A and B are shown apart, each in its own frame.
Chain A
Amino acid sequence: METVAEKKSKAEPKLKNMDEKIPGLDITWQQAKDLEWDEEFISVIQAAKKQFSNVNVLNCADEWFIIRSLNRREYRSLVQTQAEAMAKEVDAAADSANPEGVRATLNMMSEEAIASQGTVYPPLELDDIRSRASGVATTLHDSILAISGYQSAPTPIKV
């Protein structure tokens, strides 16, 4: 038979110690609250950290993004896809009066492709990126590449 205290604890949600770290994350519940992260977003971050080795959270244009590093294989594949697209565009631009404009467009496409691949949440298709503020793609692209390197440069030792 259940005691009164047991009944009460079942009825009320368990209170969190706000200074405790969130399981699997490097921040406390209080810090998450200050950042205005809800439970759903926290659980998405936890799931992303289980799936990928290097996950970061980024705020850009009043929106939270979960990004991850790209490995060399993914990066190479993206670069090759872009190179093929570029070859087609170069052919198309042969008659263009504005080759610099074509190049700028291709750079933007490259940024968008990397931003799309490296963003875990929200899932971003190219159209989703293009409908957001103009600097979002560049910020995501730069941040994804910044977390895709060593934290400290390796030091060669003469042997």
Chain B
Amino acid sequence: MFLDPRLKTRIPELRRIHKEIFLIDLSNQPGESKVSSILVRPMTRQEFLFLQQDVELECDPTEQILQSCMIWPELDWVDTDKNPLYDLPCMCLEMLSKCIIDVSGFSSNEEIAKYFSDARVAINSLDSVMMTVITRHFHAIKPCELEDMTLSELTRLFAIAETSLEQPIDLRMFLDDEYAEKQVAKEMRKQRKQIGRVPGKMMPGSYRVPQPPEGWNSAQSME
């Protein structure tokens, strides 16, 4: 894939501004345009709601989506004669705006489920646990403010917040996988015991007569 040399310096900068960015390579696409690749960001939920309203009113939101979410190169959207995207075949802009809608994910339940599943996995990391404990203890601190702190500042707050917990965080759970698995299994057994369903233990009404072996015929055995 051809990467515009100017992008090599802009990608780190733009990622820090927009958090999540996507590159769309146009170098192999037909049509004469000076734009070989573009960088886009996903739409916010508010922008997606505006888009839905535009569609309901049969308005064409294509250019507005690109204008808002295309973060590189910077193009002139007022004087279209100076905008190289307008040299592209007309439906290409529709396809680019569809790419932005797709990466934003709001239009698909599958995409929302995928993001949610990834977030669930991430929340079990020590970093996420630390953030959760801090925000629960220090109500005045917003999660976005934590993003601007150093690790040293965060761990100091974490240590203070931990004192409010019934028992301290078992750090070994995050450092030793084998230990963590054993602890999880132990916890599950404990929970099962509490609800009175211990596997292997006889419970009233749980006994079932086992099925006879395959091929066994009671009529024949009587003869």
Chain A residues proximal to chain B, CB less than 8 Å: 53-54, 69-76, 79, 145-151, 153-159
B73 sits at the interface (CB 8 A): no
Select B25's contact among A72, A145, A157, beta carbons within 8 Å.
Answer: A157
Q: A71 to B91, Cβ gap below 8 A? A: no
Knowing A53-B30, A54-B31, say if A159 contacts B23 (CB, 8 Å): yes
Complex alpha-carbon distance, A157 and B32, angstroms = 22
Counted as pairs of residues, one from A and one from B, with CB atoms less than 8 Å apart, the total is 95
Binding site for A on B (CB under 8 A): 1, 11, 15, 20-26, 29-32, 39-40, 60, 80-81, 85-96, 98-100, 102-103
Q: How many angstroms between the C-alpha atoms of A72 and B1 in the bound complex?
A: 26
Residues on A with beta carbons closer than 8 Å to the beta carbon of B30: 53-54, 150-151
Contacts of A69 in B (CB 8 A): 31, 89-90
Choice from A53, A73, A156 contacting B80 with Cβ under 8 Å: A73
B40 to chain A: which residues have CB within 8 Å? 156
Q: What would 24 A/B residue contacts be, using CB atoms closer than 8 Å?
A: A70-B89, A70-B90, A71-B90, A72-B80, A74-B90, A75-B90, A76-B80, A145-B90, A148-B92, A149-B92, A149-B94, A150-B31, A150-B89, A150-B91, A154-B24, A155-B25, A156-B23, A156-B24, A156-B99, A156-B103, A157-B1, A158-B20, A158-B22, A158-B23
Query: In the docked arrangement, what's the CA distance between A74 and B90, Å?
Result: 8
Contact B85 A72 (CB under 8 A): yes
User: Which of A71, A76, A153 is B89 in contact with, Cβ under 8 Å?
Assistant: A71
- Asked if A156 contacts B102 (CB within 8 A), the reply is yes
